[in-house]
Structure formats: C-alpha cells, structure tokens
Structure 1
Amino acid sequence: MNGMIGEPLERLRAAARRTRELALKRVSTGLGHENADDDVGTIGTIGTIGTDGALGFDPFPLLEALHRHDVRAVVIGQVAGIMHGSAELTGDLDLLWDGEPVHAPALAAAFISLDARLTDETGVPLATRPEALLRPKVQFTAPGASGDCCTPDLPWGDLNVREILGRAVTAYGPGGLEVHYVSREDLIRMRRALGRPKDLRRADELDRLA
C-alpha cells in the first residue's frame, strides 16, 4: 500500500467538524444512513441534514479502534472521497475488508470495544460476533459513526473488489494511527459502477481534482 502523512486525515477531521457544526442547528430526522437520498446523500442540500448520521459525526473513534485491533479495513464511500479532497460532506463511514474468516475476530473485537450495534441489510439486529461480519454487507452503528461494512462478496458490477483492496492507500496520523482508504482511481470506478446521481457527481468531482 502507498502512504501519505497527515493531509488526508486533516481533511477528514475538518470535514467531520463542519458536519457536526451543521448538525447542531438541526433536530433528529429519525432516518439512518440506509435512508440516504440517492441524489443528495446523507447531508442533503446546503444547510440541511438528510439523516441522523450527521449528528455528532466523528469517524475517528472507530478508525482508531480498527487500528488498535490491527484490522485491515479500507475506507470507501464519501469519507474516502473527502480524504482525496472532495468538498462534499457526509455522515456515513463505509468500510471494506477481505471477508476472510481468520480476520473476522479482530474486526468484531474492534466493534465490541465501542459497543457498536450491527444489523443486516433489512435492519434486523445481529450479534456482534465474527460470523455475523462474514455476510456480504452488514450495517453498523458506533459512537460517532454509522455505515456499511462490506466484503468482496458484495456485488459491485464488473469490478474486482479484491484487487481494489490490494491497491488501497494508507494515511498516517498522530500516535502511529494508520487509516487505509481506497485509491482515488478505484473510488471513481466504484462510483461509476454504482451509478446513482450522487455517485456520478462525486466521481466527476474526483476527476476534476486530478
């Protein structure tokens, strides 16, 4: 994996802070990240909060827990976009890991350390155990962040997700923190494969940032 020091994580800290400040002016909507609009995303239009994921959004407790438990989970979605320079805010943290059973206990331990809750794609609660995380996708809610935790078994068009995992880059922060995130080129491919209005808009933005 390639590495970068400081700047991607500082972008993320600043964006999370702006999201929290924006959310302070709004009340709970009762909507979770799974209710995000396919056009505007979880934040919504300027000055509005689309879902409750933005309330108190801070992905760093979970990212630090993943690092402490030596979990090779790769940040995808708009948090990765922000780390690459996107100006759009988000209230979701989406993760991709290799789905190998041998790595599931460490991932479960990271979630357990934060008292995170897991559900399946329909919202049915799951016990926070290694076997639950072997599903193609589970949804999680942890202090500061909620989102999807996916494996390569989740269909993603014609993309080879395992190769995308192998090309991930790493950002380094204070105290030796390492955060792995999808490369800009692969994030653009993933966006275009999903094809929703917000994904195509964000892919175009990443293209311009190049």
Structure 2
Amino acid sequence: MIDEPLERLRAAARRTRELALSRAATGLSHEDADDDVGTIGTDGAVGFDPFPLLEALHDHGVRAVVIGQVAGIMHGSAELTGDLDLLWGGVPAHAPALAAAFASVGARLAGDAGEPMEVRPEAFLRPKVRFTAPGAGGDCCTPALPWGDLDVRELLDRAITAVGPGGLEVHHVSRDDLIRMRRALGRPKDLRRADELAALAADRRS
C-alpha cells in the first residue's frame, strides 16, 4: 500500500507539470525564485518529477531527508513547487553512495556562485551544493548549513519515512520540524506555508 504522503506528492508533481505546460517559459531557474511565489514561478516547474532522484537515493542506500516544499506537500500543503531540497548527515563515509545516486540520474552540480562542480563525493561535503537533475533541481544540504537557532542534526534524527511501490522509502522532515524550519527562514513564502501547516495540524487535532 502506498503512503498518503507519496500519493500527494505524485499528484502535486503532475499538477505542476500540467501548469508549466500551459504557460510561456520564464527563463528562470530554481536559483532565481522569489521569496513570495517560490519555484513554481520558474522553469524548474517544467517536467517536475522528484521521483527518479528519490528512487536513485533509495536504490543506493542513501538516507537523504526531503525538506522544503516537497516535504510540505507530503504533509498536506496545497502549494505547488518546482524544486526538491534535501538534507543528509554529511558523514564522509556516506558521500560516495550519495554521489553515485546523483550521477546515476545524470545530475549536474554547482557551488554557491553557480560554478560547475564534478559529481564527486567531496562536493556533497559542502554545507550546500546546488543540483540540477532530469525532473528536479534544488539544494542538497548538510547540518553544517546554518539554520537559525535550529539543531538540524536533530531534525534528521526525527525524520519520518513514507513507503511506496517496490519498497521505495522516502524520508522527509516531520511536520513540526518543517514548521520550525520555515519560521527560522522567515521569508514570506516560508511564513505563509508554516501557517498553512500549523492550521492543517490544528484541523486534524480537532
């Protein structure tokens, strides 16, 4: 049986692709997203499908945790997105498997200034590396990336797992931790989405 979070994500990715097909190209990538609309307003939405990379991570035994709006969608957010952000533990011994997973889907990497980087284990040991892969681009982060006063490593430990066909496991940050991450960032889209998730949680409790 497929977990509801994965059903939500597949449906949202399909709606994103349909939306992108119905509009003119923007010329913007996920790095160009503004702080209100987010990546749904960029060409990152074109062909958006995070599952090939998520499946590659699973197949290579990598425990990378989905954060950002893809995690929000898995928790019930109605807002669409055009990027996939990931958080992993930053343990050097695990970096080769992570690099192999990204390489297997033909991903390209870039540093903070947009400089191209080889898909090698050491690239993923940076606090953050940008990636572009068929179906999804975004950021792959380690706990070394500052996130306000949050202890991001604890968020990794509390991540939850959705299970899909063939035993696919997709790890994603918990709803409460995602709300904390959103509020720590404080951009308009983050605060709006944090409020949405908090309201959804309240509705379910009632």
Match of 1:35 among 32, 37, 42: 32
Per-residue CA shift, 1:14-52, capped at 9, x if unaligned?
Answer: 000000000001232221111111011112xxxxxx211
Scaled by the length of structure 2, what TM-score is found?
A: 0.96
| Cα offset, 1:6, TM superposition | 1.4
> What residue in structure 2 maps to residue 149 of structure 1?
140
> What residue in structure 2 maps to residue 163 of structure 1?
154
User: After TM superposition, where is structure 1 displaced by more than 4 Å over at least 4 residues in a row?
Assistant: none
Q: Distance in 2 between matches of 1:206 and 1:7?
A: 16
RMSD after superposition = 0.9
Q: In structure 1, list runs of 5 or more residues that go unmatched.
A: 44-49
1:55 aligns with 2:55: no
**Matched position secondary structure for 2:140:** strand
Per-residue CA shift, 1:153-206, capped at 9, x if unaligned?
Answer: 000010000000000000000000000000000000000000000000000000
Q: Distance in 1 between matches of 2:106 and 2:37?
A: 30
Listed as ranges, the matches of 1:8-23 within 5 Å are: 8-23=5-20
Q: Distance in 2 between matches of 1:171 and 1:5?
A: 8
8 Å contact from structure 2 (residues 2, 165) kept in 1:
no
> What residue in structure 1 maps to residue 204 of structure 2?
none
> What residue in structure 1 maps to residue 173 of structure 2?
182
Q: Distance in 1 between matches of 2:89 and 2:185?
A: 20
**Matched position secondary structure for 2:39:** coil
> What residue in structure 2 maps to residue 194 of structure 1?
185
1:76 aligns with 2:71: no
> What residue in structure 2 maps to residue 131 of structure 1?
122
Partner AA of 1:16 in structure 2 = A
**Matched position secondary structure for 1:180:** strand
| Cα offset, 1:5, TM superposition | 5.0
> What residue in structure 1 maps to residue 107 of structure 2?
116
**Matched position secondary structure for 1:140:** strand
Per-residue CA shift, 1:125-157, capped at 9, x if unaligned?
Answer: 000000011000000000100000000000001
Q: Distance in 2 between matches of 1:132 and 1:89?
A: 29
> What residue in structure 2 maps to residue 47 of structure 1?
none
- Higher helix fraction: Structure 1 or Structure 2? 2
> What residue in structure 2 maps to residue 89 of structure 1?
80
- Percent identity of paired positions between Structure 1 and Structure 2: 82
